[in-house]
Every structure is written in C-alpha cells, then in structure tokens.
Amino acid sequence: MEDRIAKILDGSRTVAVVGISDKPDRPSHEVAKYLRDRGFTVIPVNPMIDEVLGEKSYRSLSEIPGKVDLVDVFRKSEDVPPIAEEAVRIGARFFWMQEGVTSEQAREILDAAGIPWVMDRCVKKELAKRGR
C-alpha cells in the first residue's frame, strides 16, 4: 500500500475533491486547502455550493473541463460506487477514499478499470508523513 500511495501522490497534480465543504472547520475543506497550499490544483465537486477556496465548484466529476489526476472522496461509503464509475468515465488516473470511507464495490470498479486506489486513509496525513 505504501508504494501505491507514493505513486498516487507523486503522479497527481490536479485533484477533484468530491464532497468538499465550504465550511473551514470541516475536514474536506481543510484537506483541500492543504493540497492547494502545496501546489496542487484543487477542483471542488459539490452540487450544493457554487465556490470554495476561490474556485468554482462543479456539480459532478463529469462537469469538470479538462483532466483530473486524483479523485479524493469525502462522502458516505455507500455513496462511493457511482463516484468510482464516474471517475472511470472521465479518465481519472487515481482514486482516494478518505478516512472512514470504504467500499468494496468501488474497489472492484476501480480494479477492473486499472485505476490505483487508496481506501480509509487521509491524503493530508500521507503527504505530511512524506514531508510534503
């Protein structure tokens, strides 16, 4: 898993944060800000908000113009399989399920598409462990 995490972090520059909140005290907002502050391009995905961190928020992954390296998911585990399917459709390179988010069905979808994934881990903590 550590090699996969390193590959994902090293190979990602554009991150779609699905389920991002516009509330600064929420983990999704904090992680997205951390990513942005470290040079990642952060694309908010939340149909309930128009903008966060000064970036336009998209209703879905499919609405994002351009390529996405990493889909970072802050949603309930049962909501993840359709997000994984959409990530496959848009050609995302990697998929990340944040702490507390697990889905064997999403894992199967991603494995079948050859998309490396991480489950139940925090991207911010993994970057920090690597001094980033």
Average pLDDT score over residue span 13-37: 97
Is residue 8 very low, low, confident or very high in pLDDT (cuts 50, 70, 90)?
very high
What is the number of domains present in the chain?
1
CATH number for 62: 3.40.50.720
Question: If you search the block for the tokens 């998209």, which residue do you land on?
Answer: 58
- Strands (E) located in the chain: 14-18, 41-45, 51-52, 55-56, 70-73, 94-97, 117-118
| Stated length of the chain | 132
Please give the residue range of the domain that contains residue 85.
2-129
Tens-digit pLDDT profile for residues 62-92: 999 999 999 999 999 999 999 999 999 999 9
- In terms of Cβ atoms closer than 10 Å to its own Cβ (0-12, 13-18, 19+), residue 62 is exposed
Q: Are 94 and 12 in contact (CB under 8 A)?
A: yes
